[in-house]
Chain A
Amino acid sequence: MDFSQIVPALPALMEGMVVTLKLLVMAVLGGVVLGTFIALGRLSSNAFLSGLAKAYVNYFRSIPLLLVIIWFYLAVPMLLNWITGDFVPVGAFASCLVAFMMFEAAYYAEIVRAGIQAISRGQVNAAYALGMTYGQAMRLVILPQAFRKMLPLLLQQSIILFQDTSLVYAVGLMDFLNSARSRGDILGQPHEFLIFAGAVYFVISYCASYIVKRLQKRLVV
């Protein structure tokens, strides 16, 4: 084992990490927003809306993430081509981002739904009694409370997503794992680089989990 080549490779690996984190942050934000709308749809009294939202959640929770990534990589350009008539290259990053957003939204939706249901019915009633519309009641009263309760779960899910971002190697996106792997291959030290990458994933995920657990304790009190 010779780890001496890792230090000179750090700037390149850092670039990979930037791609990973960019993907993660954008996918989490997009996924939570989309997931919130899906959760509201599922809780809607409109049978069509709630059925659609339920189908969405069940569909994306029943297929492998890897499949979604590949499928979007191939399908998004095709769809755009079909809509605009031009061939628009979207690139691996954009298609992966859409795939993660839509896939994770199904999981976030379930967390958000549970969070909303945990807020007492009296809060909605109070908001309505004070003249608020459904949208105002959700935005000003229910969701701020629900998100406070859900924060640890949303973050925990996002840590899982952090690990899952590595699946983008399937479409050739140079994220952290992929740049470590290719760097290791080029230098003929694949094992060292993979071990290093594993250690980095472990340290980041473990620390993040620890912070989330601390946060959870503080929110309970």
Chain B
Amino acid sequence: MIRFINVHKWFKDLHVLNGIDLQVAQGEVVVVCGPSGSGKSTLIRTVNQLESINEGEIWVDGKNVTDPKTDLNALRAEVGFVFQHFNLYPHLSVLDNITLSPMRVKKMERVAAEKRAEELLERVGLAHKKDAFPAQLSGGQQQRVAIARGLAMQPQVMLFDEPTSALDPEMIGEVLKVMKDLAESGMTMMVVTHEMGFAREVADRVVFVDHGRILEEAPPEEFFMRPQHERAQQFLRQLLTPMN
């Protein structure tokens, strides 16, 4: 479904992505982790070309996203993206946030788009908030709306860029639960996260990135029990031992 072939990216002198090769199969859930500044967020943003790349190829659903001839807008409509900071449209109600792209990009009828939006809100447990504005919601609720907004486009893949990093601890669970349900429904997912509990429970594969390279790629039990690379061992030690 997603395929990175020898992907390189530089920010001026900084080599943020250094020869990434990775595949995500249909229905698979891949968690990408790594220290901050490792390039993992950049990596996931290249999939729908919110970040361009300098070298290599990225294929999504049989289309080369780095080919200038590819219709990027049509491709992005098939790839759901959930941001760290939710990025809901603050001037629109929850329902309008969800129906905007289906109506304007996919030319869906309002009635059908609203019906689908209400079903999705039901699914993320926020049916009663459809007329609220984003500022009236908690962070966890906003992120669940953002997930519903992404799903409203009926994407082939869902990408999550640190979806719980901006949340208060007590709200992380509700977002992870929605993501877990989504994974169980068979959605292809690529998730950048520090939530190792989620990775262990839901992921088919964990990918460890540092300094723009994939250093380790393994099923979760193997990654957590027997990390091969020294950097991965160090990373896990830091993550699993609380500072206090």
Contacts and interface: CB of A to CB of B under 8 A. Distances in A.
B81 A140 contact: no
B87 A125 contact: yes
Contact of B90 (A128, A129, A132, A145): A145
Interface in B72-131: 73-74, 76-77, 79-81, 83, 85, 87-91, 100-101, 104-106
Contacts of A140: 100, 104
Interface residues of B, number: 24
A150 to B, nearest CB: 13
Contact of B87 (A123, A133, A144): A123
Interface string B49-92: 01000000000000000000000011011011101010111110
A144 B91 CA distance: 8
Contact of B85 (A122, A136, A148): A122
B145 to A, nearest CB: 12
Given A122-B83, A122-B85, A126-B83, A131 B101 contact: yes
A214 to B, nearest CB: 21
Contacts of A141: 89, 100
B71 to A, nearest CB: 10
B83 A130 contact: no
Contact of A129 (B50, B85, B88): B50
Interface in B16-43: none
Nearest to A133: B73
A119 to B, nearest CB: 9
Interface string A156-197: 000000000000000000000000000000000000000000
A148 B91 contact: yes
Interface string B188-205: 000000000000000000
Contacts of A130: 76-77, 81, 100-101, 105, 149-150, 153
Contacts of B149: 130
A129 B104 contact: no
B89 A131 contact: no
Contacts of B153: 130-131
Given A130-B150, A136-B104, 18 more contacts: A120-B87, A122-B83, A123-B89, A128-B48, A128-B50, A129-B48, A129-B50, A129-B83, A130-B76, A130-B77, A130-B100, A130-B105, A131-B77, A131-B106, A131-B153, A136-B105, A140-B100, A144-B91
17 contacts: A120-B85, A125-B50, A126-B87, A126-B88, A129-B50, A129-B80, A129-B150, A130-B81, A130-B150, A131-B106, A131-B153, A136-B105, A141-B89, A141-B100, A144-B91, A145-B89, A145-B91
Closest 10 pairs between A and B when the two form their complex, measured CB to CB: A131-B77, A126-B87, A129-B81, A130-B101, A122-B87, A131-B105, A131-B76, A145-B91, A131-B73, A144-B91
